[in-house]
Amino acid sequence: MAREDRYNPSEIEQKWQQRWAETELYRIKMNDTANKYYMLTMYPYPSGNLHTGHWYAMAPSDAIARFYRMQGKNVFFPMGFDAFGLPAENAAIKHNIHPAKWTYENVAHMTEQLKRMGASFDWSHMIITCNPDYYKWNQWFFLKFYEMGLAYKQFAPVDWCPNCNTTLAREQVVGEERVCERCGTPVIRKELDQWFFRITDYAERLLEGLNRIDWPERIKTMQTNWIGRSTGANIRFPVEGTDASLEVFTTRPDTIYGATFMVVAPEHPIVEQITAPEQRAAVEAYRYQASRQSEIDRLAIDKEKSGVFTGGYAVNPMTEERIPIWTADYVLMTYGTGAIMGVPGGDQRDWEFAEKFGLPIVPVTEPAGGFTGEQAEAYAGPGVMINSGLLNGMVTLAKYSREEWTAGLAAEYGVELKPDQPEAREEIVKMLEARGVGEAAVNYRLRDWLISRQRYWGAPIPIIYCEACGTQPVPYDQLPVLLPEDVDFRPTGESPLKYHEGFLRTTCPECDGPATRETDTMDTFVDSSWYWFRYLSPHYEAGPFDPSCKPWVPVDQYTGGAEHAVMHLLYARFWTKVMHDMGLIEHDEPFKRLFNQGVILGADRQKMSKSRGNVADPDALVAEYGADVVRTYLMFIGPWDMGGPWSDEGIEGLSRFMQRVWDLVVQDAPVDPDARPAEAEVAALRRRTYQTIAKATEDYSTFNFNTMLAALMKYTNDLREFKQTSVVNSWAWDEALESLILMLAPAAPYITEELWARMGNEYSVHEQPWPTWDPEVAREETFELVLQVNGKVRDRVQAPVGISEDKARELALANETVRRFMDGKEPRKVIYVPGRLVNIVI
């Protein structure tokens, strides 16, 4: 075989990459929006190298983009880099390289890697979020949010190293002892004045919007839980000896008669006010202890309860009884009001607390049938109120709603509730409201979004502080507030912006007097909360995006990792809703459809990691097998959302497949060119071709790339057999080869472009329409005929489509199994249902 007839991936891949670039094959026609399809895949962090995970996310996404293009859609498929963040800053401190240099070098390298993958990204729309012309718009949005009251400043705890004198990111706090990554000093929490976005204002709409998008149920559930809507009441307990009252949030106001103590979070400001002198030392020590722990540790269910009595008392507004106020770390300052009423009879945490500290326990709800013996643990379920004053004898549905009750829970719990019958929770709220000591309340687990980072490599927050005029937004015409490059990276890790006089010192936009700049930068999740808008018009100067591009949004299909289930995907939804409220766009959900790919594991079924030595290196694999093989191998591993372990044999298999496709087109058939093709053979070939097109179309549409490839492999093998026959002299053979190439094109863009050209077709295969098929021709020649004796299925056989009744009858009566069941008897009647079954009655 001539050298140029051999499949040499690296040669053809380079060649076509260049040609695609020269001819701007993937350049989008922005104006043609009638058939628009916005295909978005999550942009990478420029860590330095594309890993298998990137390939697994992007190569199949590229296949989708290509498939839709062939289906006649005008597909926009952009790419960029999420370029701000901590690793660049760490590289600066550790290796003495500027974060900008580190980042842009990595971007350049990874862009080349992405091109080698053969992805059809439109590079003319690339964005890099650390470019001033990108983050300028972060700052612009910040100012808009500020005007809308959606950006505000407040004290909030950060993890703080008292030795390095700096805040730490979550990943810089290490080990169970929670020490500073750098110096090993125990980390404490410290309150700093920081910027927040008021995402909690959008909690209700973030929940509602989930009903309107085609996303995996799993992700919707995670967002729902993250938002964590709870209904209940706020109740105020007067504090003895003061005018103050202590407000609690409870989902079970009906249990108030069983409140035998109160607990406030150690950080609760009221602690100072109520702590008795003799308890002061113990309370202070406890508060320090608590400041050392993370919220997650504090909430751990199996954790031994701890706490200290403050010496103060509150008065139960329903019973007038005085109850002791404790402080304990199982109550969080960041939820509800930071204080609870302790009801050991109804809440297991309170039960454990009461047991440990010898506080009284009063049962308040009796389950249907009563307790067996003494109540032995908290009962949080529905039942009848006891020991509860005005509520005694009333039914409580506990955490359930009346709807859930009528839908079946009444039977499950054995507790009836008629539509007009009072329910304890509803009644107590009315009573509390009437007395002015409480009211119905809704609480969300969702917290406002803390966007301040005490870091350098991020977008500066555009705020100026003036002694005389206070907090001043940077005027729009002074944007962007540029991140200075000539900074000093301190080994302490503290933001260099604080020590950069040129950045820090400025003048007040209001009074022109001396002022200082905010030195916090923005969370990088700000960058990724709207980046798909910027892709549309990355160089637009009059706003974050060109309004004429509006028909392109929302995104039609978003793909990416499930690890972004909450943060990124929730922030992006929030941002879109704010943009809607600003009047920038009409829609308010950013991504119509979402797909999460699975995770590629090492051959040992463990997460790929350098230390385990189980990492597959895409660059090396591309060098050895070519990008098409790596792409298709990844698509063949299994269902895309499942991921799976890497396998070297697997990739060899794909390599052989690609070689077979190559040979099929490039090598001559061993058939006399004058041999007349047989009619039946031609029909059979066309049937196979059309069946395969039908299957591939369905599989691409549903992202079932593994079964799509399996079908193409089977088809390729069939074509190899057809190639031995005179059918190669028919037009059906050309149609078959072309169809194979077209169907493979989205998955393996290089080899198909090459073979398409070698078949004498016009450039480019990636601009061809998707092959169509005639279902009539695709229809099988045979069908499955069910054979019954006395109505029982006894066998199934293949019968020719359109078989006559007589022939079907003959076939049935001659069948071995049927004859066995007929047991030598004569048929009384034979029923034939055309195209389905023959039933012999004896």
Q: Are 240 and 314 in contact (CB under 8 A)?
A: yes
Least distance between ligand ANZ and beta carbon 444 (Å): 9
In eight-state DSSP terms, residue 790 is T
Q: What are residue 142's phi and psi, to 5 degrees?
A: -55, -45
Are the beta carbons of 239 and 245 closer than 8 angstroms? yes
Residue 623: which H helix or E strand, with range?
A: helix 618-625
Under the binding rule (CB under 6 A), the answer on residue 386 touching ligand ANZ is no
**Which residue stretch of 314-322, 329-337, 578-586, 819-827 sits at the interface with ligand ANZ (rule: CB under 6 A)?**
329-337
Shortest distance (Å) from residue 331 CB to ligand ANZ:
4
Candidates 59-67, 340-348, 501-509, 512-520: pick the segment binding ligand ANZ (CB under 6 A): 340-348
Burial tier of 139 (Cβ tally within 10 Å: 0-12, 13-18, 19+): buried
Site string for ligand ANZ, 721-760 (x = CB under 6 A): ----------------------------------------
511 contacts Zn ion (rule: CB under 5 A): yes
Q: What are phi and psi of 680, to 5 degrees?
A: -65, -35
Residue 572, judged by CB atoms within 10 A of its CB (0-12, 13-18, 19+), counts as buried
- Single out the residue of 61, 234, 250, 375 in contact with ligand ANZ (rule: CB under 6 A): 250
Closest distance to Zn ion from the beta carbon of 484 (Å): 22
Cβ 506 to Zn ion shortest distance, Å:
11
Minimum distance of ligand ANZ from residue 302's CB (angstroms): 16
**Residues 339-368 as b or e (16 or more Cβ within 10 Å = b):** bbbbbbbbbebbbbbbeebebebbbbbbbe
Beta strands in 716-836 (DSSP E): 782-789, 792-800, 829-833
Answer yes or no: are the C-beta atoms of 378 and 345 closer than 8 Å. yes
Residue 684: its H or E element: helix 679-701
Give the residue, chosen from 137, 197, 286, 335, that forms a contact with ligand ANZ under the rule CB under 6 A: 335
Asked if 266 and 330 touch (Cβ cutoff 8 Å), the reply is no
Among positions 212-231, residues that touch ligand ANZ (CB under 6 A) are 230
508 binds Zn ion (CB under 5 A): yes
Pick 300 or 831: Cβ nearer ligand ANZ: 300
Residue 70, both tokens: 């062939």
Six token digits for residue 117: 């993958």
Are the C-beta atoms of 75 and 63 separated by less than 8 Å? no
Among 57, 70, 180, 340, binds ligand ANZ (CB under 6 A): 340
Helices 618-625, 627-636: inter-axial angle, 10-degree rounding: 110
Comparing CA positions, the residue from 286, 336, 345, 343 lying closest to residue 311 is 286
State the amino acid at position 220 in one-letter form.
Answer: K
CB of 249 to ligand ANZ, least distance (A): 5
Nearest CB to ligand ANZ, comparing residues 377 and 767: 377
C-alpha to C-alpha distance for 445 and 339, rounded to whole angstroms: 15
Contacting residue, 125, 136, 252, 268, with ligand ANZ by CB under 6 A: 252
Q: Which is nearer to Zn ion, 469 or 666 (CB)?
A: 469
Which entry of ligand ANZ, Zn ion, none binds 346, CB below 5 to 8 A by partner kind?
ligand ANZ
Give the binding-site size for ligand ANZ (rule: CB under 6 A). Answer: 18
Tokens of 786: 């069910």
Residue 711 interacts with which of ligand ANZ, Zn ion, none, CB < 5 to 8 Å by class: none
Binding piece for ligand ANZ, criterion CB under 6 A, among 67-75, 209-217, 341-349, 428-436 = 341-349
Phi and psi of 190, rounded to 5°?
A: -135, 145
Cβ nearer to ligand ANZ, comparing 264 with 840: 264
Segment near ligand ANZ (CB under 6 A); pick from 49-57, 337-345, 421-429, 494-502: 337-345
Residue 165, Cβ density class (10 Å: 0-12 exposed, 13-18 middle, ≥19 buried)? exposed
**From Zn ion, ligand ANZ, none, which one binds at residue 55 (CB under 5 to 8 Å depending on kind)?**
none
Q: Is 301 exposed, middle or buried (0-12, 13-18, 19+ CB in 10 A)?
A: exposed
Q: In the bound complex, which residue of the shown chain has the CB atom lying closest to ligand ANZ?
A: 346
Nearest approach in angstroms of CB 256 to ligand ANZ is 8
CB nearer ligand ANZ, residue 347 or residue 738: 347
Segment lying near Zn ion (by CB under 5 A), choices 185-193, 390-398, 511-519, 790-798 = 511-519
Q: Shortest Cβ distance from residue 242 to ligand ANZ (Å)?
A: 21
Which is nearer to ligand ANZ, 91 or 364 (by Cβ)?
364
By the rule CB under 6 A, 338 interacts with ligand ANZ: yes
Binding ligand ANZ by CB under 6 A: which of 202, 249, 261, 351?
249
Q: How many residues bind Zn ion (CB under 5 A)?
A: 7
Looking at residue 306, the DSSP 8-state letter turns out to be -
When asked if residue 380 is in the footprint of ligand ANZ (CB under 6 A), the reply is: yes
- In eight-state DSSP terms, residue 668 is P
CB 259 within 8 A of CB 341: yes
Residues between 162 and 191 that touch Zn ion (CB under 5 A) = none
SS3 for 722?
A: helix
Which does residue 680 touch among Zn ion, ligand ANZ, none (CB within 5 to 8 A, set by kind)? Answer: none
d(CA 103, CA 49): 12
In whole angstroms, the minimum distance from the beta carbon of 247 to ligand ANZ comes to: 11
Q: What does the block give as tokens for 66?
A: 């290509």
Binding-site partner at residue 726 among Zn ion, ligand ANZ, none, CB < 5 to 8 Å by type: none
Helices and strands: H and E segment counts in the chain: 28, 34
Q: For the window 446-485, what string marks contact with Zn ion as x by the rule CB under 5 A?
A: --------------------x-xx----------------
**Residue 371 to residue 363: CA distance in whole angstroms:** 10
Question: Binding partner of residue 508 among Zn ion, ligand ANZ, none, CB under 5 to 8 Å per kind?
Answer: Zn ion
Residue 251 touches which of Zn ion, ligand ANZ, none (Cβ within 5-8 Å per kind): ligand ANZ
Q: Where are the alpha helices (DSSP H) in 180-254?
A: 203-209, 217-227
97, 174, 213, 332: which one binds ligand ANZ (CB under 6 A): 332
346 binds ligand ANZ (CB under 6 A): yes
Any alpha helices (H) in 275-423, and if so which ranges?
A: 280-291, 295-299, 348-357, 402-404, 410-413
Task: Identify each DSSP E strand in 452-504 by its residue range.
Answer: 452-453, 463-466, 470-473
Nearest approach, Cβ of residue 342 and ligand ANZ (Å): 7
**Stretch of residues binding ligand ANZ (CB under 6 A), selected from 32-40, 201-209, 245-253, 491-499:** 245-253
Residue 319 CB, nearest approach to ligand ANZ (Å): 15
Extract the tokens encoding 248.
């609690």
* 466 binds ligand ANZ per the rule CB under 6 A: no
Q: In whole angstroms, how close is the CB of 461 to Zn ion at the nearest point? A: 18
Residue 829, SS3?
strand
**Closer residue to Zn ion (CB): 262 or 474:** 474
243's CB contacts (< 8 A; 6+ apart) are none
Among ligand ANZ, Zn ion, none, the one that 511 touches (CB under a kind-dependent 5 to 8 A) is: Zn ion
Q: Which of 311, 313, 293, 312 is nearest to 303 (CA)?
A: 293
Q: What angle do CA 734, 738, 743 make, to 5 degrees?
A: 150
Residue in 139, 167, 255, 632 binding ligand ANZ, rule: CB under 6 A: 255
Strand 644-645 and strand 600-601: the pairing is parallel
Residue 468 or 801 having the CB closest to Zn ion: 468
Site residues (vs ligand ANZ, CB under 6 A)? 230, 249-252, 255, 331-332, 335-336, 338, 340-341, 343, 346-347, 380, 443
Site residues (vs Zn ion, CB under 5 A)? 466, 468-469, 508, 510-511, 513
